[in-house]
Amino acid sequence: MLFKDLGLSEALLKAISKKGYTQPSPIQEKAIPQVLKGRDVLASAQTGTGKTAGFTLPLLQNLGEPTSRRRPIRALVLTPTRELAAQVYDNVREYSEFMDIRSLVIFGGVNQNPQVRALKSGVDVLVATPGRLLDLESQGALRLDQVEILVLDEADRMLDMGFLRDIKRVLALMPKKRQNLLFSATFSKEIKQLAGSFLTDPILVEATPENTTAEKVDQLMYRIDTGVKPTVLIKMISEGDWSQVLVFTRTKHRANRLAEKLNKANVTAAAIHGNKSQGARTKALSGFKENKIRVLVATDIAARGLDIPLLPYVINYELPNVPEDYVHRIGRTGRAGASGQAISLVAGDEVSYVKGIEKLLKQRFDFEILEGFEPDPNAPTEKPKPQQRGRRNNNRTGGNNGGNRNSRSNNNREGNSRR
């Protein structure tokens, strides 16, 4: 099937052709016709499947020409992170090049004044993160009472980051009669409840079976001790002459420390997480894409939505304690038919995490041992449990390794201390 067979307008087909595309991806082939019909859509699609064009193209066609000189916001795309918002906006802008459509992206961490000025001049399609959207709405800088189409992109991550209350506030600001599109990498109980609260007779669209990994990703797991992880990582990257290596840690602090160690070893690296300014994040990502920075060290939430084509290497410096996050991480390589490598450095107390990943993926991993870096055979294979010290609530810190856990608190939210 070709894009021209999906019922898209000549203006959109011209923009698609300019980007060099002819054939839609599976999610685009399934979602576009349903969105064009005006149906509410509940879609399961991970980053890298072409989902953004899957909702952007039909959304633009359904909006058509502006109906008012004032140009009220007629389509809202809500995303969990600034980076994803910027990338969705780029897609909207590129695909609407030959249409009379005005679009804007708003998110926290930057001066709001240019965003307010752009809103005053009229916007058809607004791409936003929840925090800045509600801030500007409360200031009277924007209204959502004429929204015709709502898109919740990466809804599962929005719930992970504590945005449920904000999503409900946004829903209350819009007219009840509208088209709704919800895209999520997973269909958890919470996602199904959210979908049921505002989608009307939705069509279910799935691009790939839930929680599958890319077929062309070579997954390797090395069993090593925590103390030698930096040395092993530097050795792999330097001796392999690797570039464009995305490395995952579980905490912001660890991401900063690892980036510093890499740079001291003459391996150019930058950390990306919620405590970094928007300018620093944009600069790091740009340098990484242009091969000026060899290694990008990221936390799960900061990396969600990063669009890095043909990424060759993903390294789990620390395994995630949520098995689904492993799938999201390694799904960033092996895209668009290219091969990729996902390497995990597994310390003794992370072995239990591997068991969870094996159960999710229904496959077994054999640990490889690096010569000269043989692990301590007596190392514990579980995270140490917190000790009771007389007061019942002392265990809330999670023991010595509590900082390694993924925090799901509101501190992760956009505009605050998000990873």
Q: Give the other-Cβ count within 10 Å of 390's Cβ.
A: 5
- Greatest CA span in the chain, whole angstroms? 72
Structure tokens at 341: 């490598």
Q: Distances from the Cα of 196 to the Cαs of 16, 40, 41, 209, in angstroms?
A: 33, 11, 12, 21
Structure tokens at 393: 């609530």
Amino acid in position 262:
L
Give, as one character, the DSSP assignment of residue 275.
T
pLDDT of residue 178: 96
**H-only helix segments in 203-277:** 229-240, 252-264
pLDDT of residue 224: 93
Least Cα distance to 244 among 269, 266, 272 occurs for 269
DSSP string, 82-111: HHHHHHHHHHHHHHTTTSS--EEEE-SSS-
What's the pLDDT tens digit per position in 243-269?
889 999 999 999 999 999 999 999 999
> Counting beta carbons within 10 angstroms of the beta carbon of residue 10, is it exposed (0 to 12), middle (13 to 18) or buried (19 or more)?
exposed
Least Cα distance to 144 among 162, 130, 159, 157 occurs for 130
As a whole number of angstroms, the distance between CA 196 and CA 201 comes to 9
pLDDT of residue 383: 55
Element (H, E) at 160: helix 155-160
pLDDT of residue 264: 96
pLDDT of residue 77: 98
**In the CATH hierarchy, which top-level class contains the domain 217-389?**
alpha beta
Q: Distances from the Cα of 140 to the Cαs of 131, 143, 309, 363, in angstroms?
A: 15, 7, 39, 53
Same fold, 3-206 and 217-389: yes
Strand ranges for 173-319 from DSSP E:
179-184, 203-206, 217-223, 245-248, 269-272, 295-298, 313-316
Report yes or no on whether pTM surpasses 0.85.
Answer: no
pLDDT of residue 341: 87
Structure tokens at 247: 């490395």
Classify strands 179-184 and 149-152 as parallel, antiparallel or unpaired.
parallel
pLDDT of residue 284: 87
Fold annotation for 3-206: Rossmann fold (3.40.50)
Domain ranges of the chain: 3-206, 217-389
pLDDT of residue 183: 92
pLDDT of residue 109: 82
Beta bridge partners of 314: 246, 342
- Which regions of the chain are under pLDDT 70? 46-48, 208-216, 302-310, 334-339, 379-419
Least Cα distance to 31 among 11, 12, 50, 4 occurs for 50
pLDDT of residue 325: 83
Q: Give the other-Cβ count within 10 Å of 5's Cβ.
A: 11
